[in-house]
Amino acid sequence: MSNPLQGAQFVLAAHRISQLPSDHGAEVAFAGRSNAGKSSALNTLTAHRGLARTSKTPGRTQQMVAFSLPPLIQGEGEPPLPARLIDLPGYGYAKVPEALREHWKQEIDAYLHQRRSLRGVVLIADIRHPLKDFDRMMLDFCFATHLPCHVLLTKADKLSRNQAAQALAALRKEMAASDTQATAQVFSSQTPTGVEEARDMVMTLLNTPRP
């Protein structure tokens, strides 16, 4: 099966949302804590080992990084639509100054509220740990603003298949109890587990009109 994300290319790294590519087209943002495996997930999904930087030191992504994708084919007579992936700064673990953490908090908030080409969020969470406050805030925001959110429970290779299934069921139960209408799956960049499902979901999000 061909990989629709394989054509991803680095475009730029932005310190502010005003520096991002023109707010036209469709993009999916990847968000998550700094140690949840976000860069590895991006590299695996795009089949581009060096696309997003990975490091043994969490928190290396300290800018909003834009990657272009092959344009989306629209209806007959309509021009192709620009498509992008946006890697948001890792949050919650990075050893950065408080002022920089506050800056990124404000920029991420502004990006989520103002970016009209944003079609959905892929939230990266370590399957071995309960959701953190940041994860729940992101889920609540997406639900409140009718923005689709898909959770990748990463590092599933660290658990048995039964343990991973239990973790996924527990997350879905928690989201249902809080009336959070997000989707979720298990994922591993190492095995790889759930990669095709995640790629399909990213493409579904890109092709979902903004409410």
Any idea what the Cα angle at residue 53 is, between residues 101 and 20, rounded to 5°? 60
138 touches 125 (CB < 8 A): no
Quote the DSSP letter at residue 102: H
Q: Note the pLDDT of residue 54.
A: 57
Calculate what percentage of the chain has a pLDDT beyond 90.
Answer: 69
Q: What percent of the chain has pLDDT over 70?
A: 93
Query: Can you tell me which residue has the tokens 């790629």?
Result: 199
- CA atoms of 131 and 166, how far apart (whole Å): 14
**pLDDT (tens digit, 9 = 90+) per residue, 93-125?**
556 677 777 888 888 889 999 999 999 999 999
- Number of Cα atoms under 13 Å in the Cβ half of residue 73: 2
Q: In what order do the strands lie in the sheet with 149-154?
A: 9-14, 64-72, 81-87, 26-32, 118-126, 149-154, 183-186
Burial of residue 184 (CB within 10 Å: 0-12, 13-18, 19+) is: buried
Per-residue pLDDT tens over the stretch 146-193: 999 999 999 999 999 999 999 999 999 999 998 888 999 999 999 989
Instruction: Find the mean pLDDT for residues 4-25.
Output: 94
| Nearest by Cα to 94 from 58, 132, 142 | 58
Question: If you average pLDDT over residues 67-77, what whole number do you get?
Answer: 91
pTM strictly above 0.85: yes
